[in-house]
Amino acid sequence: MGTPQDGLSEVVPQAGLHGVATGAIPVDSVDHKARSPVTEITSAQEGNPMTTSPERLLETSTSEAPRQDPATDLGVRRVTLEPWGVTVGPVSHLADERYRLSRLRFDHFEVRQVGATVGAEVHGVDLCTPLDDAVIAELTQCLHEFKVLFFRDQPLTPGQHVSFARRFGELEVHPFIPANPDHPELVRFEKEATVGGYENGWHSDVTWREVPSLGAVLHAVEVPPIGGDTLFADMGAAYDGLDDKLRTRIDGMTAIHDYSKVFGHAVKAADREAMRAQFPPVEHPVVRVHPATGRRILYVNRFFTDHIVGLDRDESDRLIDRLAAQAETVEYQCRFAWSEHSVAFWDNRAVQHYAASDYWPQRRVMERASIVGERPEG
């Protein structure tokens, strides 16, 4: 890459995920250190962008040269537009993982990759029927790779929904959200003109539990004609996108999570003491390590994370906001448009999600089974 233009700072070459480029290879021999063809492109770490003004970004290199794309002189790097601090340009640290995922193949079903590093539609599996252990094992592997799996045309009965989810572990019962009357393991989100959707914020489910969910299986029972999509963000990619200094700072930090930030208003006064005793504030790592993949994952959210241990309130609030904002980077996301009897199965350890609340006053009914996980470790 050539010498930076006047007024533009040097950039830091960027490696792949976790600083190691990861090329794509078939699923039966995954090697996360294999390199893809894009690895040789020199680029800037997303957290260490160069800075410029919008006017300079749009300039061409010389007035005499033939007109070319204004981005030509910038190479492959992130650029911050001042004075707003908005960062634009290729999110290049996703390239190797995107390529690796595109090469994965499975024996019992086909997949279509949805986002750069998150999301896959699965075809060739009928969730309404009992599945062989080999299929469940391969779905588990696929979930670890893509973080969220989508299925179409799965007219599950509540019993079939519970049976499928239970193949991946013990199911939890939510203490605050109403359940299917016949299956307490199924949380029922029944939204209409008198009940709004307030799940439109980035979060991982039940991080206020000592042992949060491993994952969740969400079934669309009734969907509005337009709207009500769910978005998912890869929080491993979000962690990798931080600059080295911030990653070093937060590794080893812990944070307190508390249900009362969201559900406290719904607890009756007479029940508050008992509920607090059952679900006290819990301490989890700010960066957790995925137990199956070894990925480092940002594990704070604005819904349930109260504060970071060892910081004063103002500093803690600023840091939580900074880290939680990583989920808002569109390049880390995928978006699922629901149809009746669609199913989403996500790894609650690896992603955060956001349910768009753009369908009011239309009716939207979803049922979710959540699988008990393990205590997060850093």
Residues 295-339: tens digit of each pLDDT: 999 999 999 999 999 999 999 999 999 999 999 999 999 999 999
Tokens of 263: 């559900």
280/276 Cα distance (integer angstroms): 5
Closest of 237, 258, 349 to residue 299, by C-alpha: 349
Instruction: Based on the residue annotation, tell me whether 6 is a catalytic residue of this protein.
Output: no
Catalytic entry in 205, 234, 240, 258: 205
3-class secondary structure, 321: helix
Least confident range of 59-63, 171-175, 350-354 = 59-63
Q: Which H or E run includes 343?
A: strand 343-347
- What is the pTM assigned to this prediction? 0.84
119/361 Cα distance (integer angstroms): 29
| Residues forming beta bridges with residue 309, ordered by sequence position | none
Catalytic entry in 78, 161, 203, 341: 203
3-class secondary structure, 316: helix
Q: Which tens digit of pLDDT belongs to each residue from 205-250?
A: 999 999 999 999 999 999 999 999 999 999 999 999 999 999 999 9
pLDDT of residue 59: 57
138/128 Cα distance (integer angstroms): 17
pLDDT of residue 172: 97
C-alpha distances in Å from residue 155, one per residue of 10, 89, 152, 163, 241 = 55, 42, 9, 14, 39
Catalytic entry in 257, 341, 349, 368: 368
| Average pLDDT, rounded, for the chain | 87
Give the CB-side neighbour count of residue 199, counting CA atoms within 13 A.
Answer: 22
329/326 Cα distance (integer angstroms): 6
Mean pLDDT along residues 105-120: 98
User: What DSSP state is assigned to residue 282?
Assistant: E
Q: By percentage, how much of the chain surpasses pLDDT 70?
A: 83
The residue that leads in pLDDT, 139 or 264, is 139
pLDDT of residue 65: 66
Q: By percentage, how much of the chain surpasses pLDDT 90?
A: 74
Instruction: Based on the residue annotation, tell me whether 368 is a catalytic residue of this protein.
Output: yes
Tokens of 370: 């959540």
pLDDT of residue 66: 78
In sequence order, the 6+-apart residues with CB closer than 8 A to the CB of 351 are 118, 147, 148, 204, 232, 233, 234, 235
Instruction: Based on the residue annotation, tell me whether 205 is a catalytic residue of this protein.
Output: yes
Instruction: Based on the residue annotation, tell me whether 306 is a catalytic residue of this protein.
Output: no
288/296 Cα distance (integer angstroms): 6
The residue that leads in pLDDT, 72 or 50, is 72
230/299 Cα distance (integer angstroms): 19
Q: Which of 4-8, 89-93, 345-349 has the highest mean pLDDT?
A: 345-349
Terminal Cα distance for the chain, rounded: 37
| Peptide bond between residue 291 and the one before it cis (omega within 30 degrees of 0) | no
Catalytic entry in 32, 56, 93, 353: 353
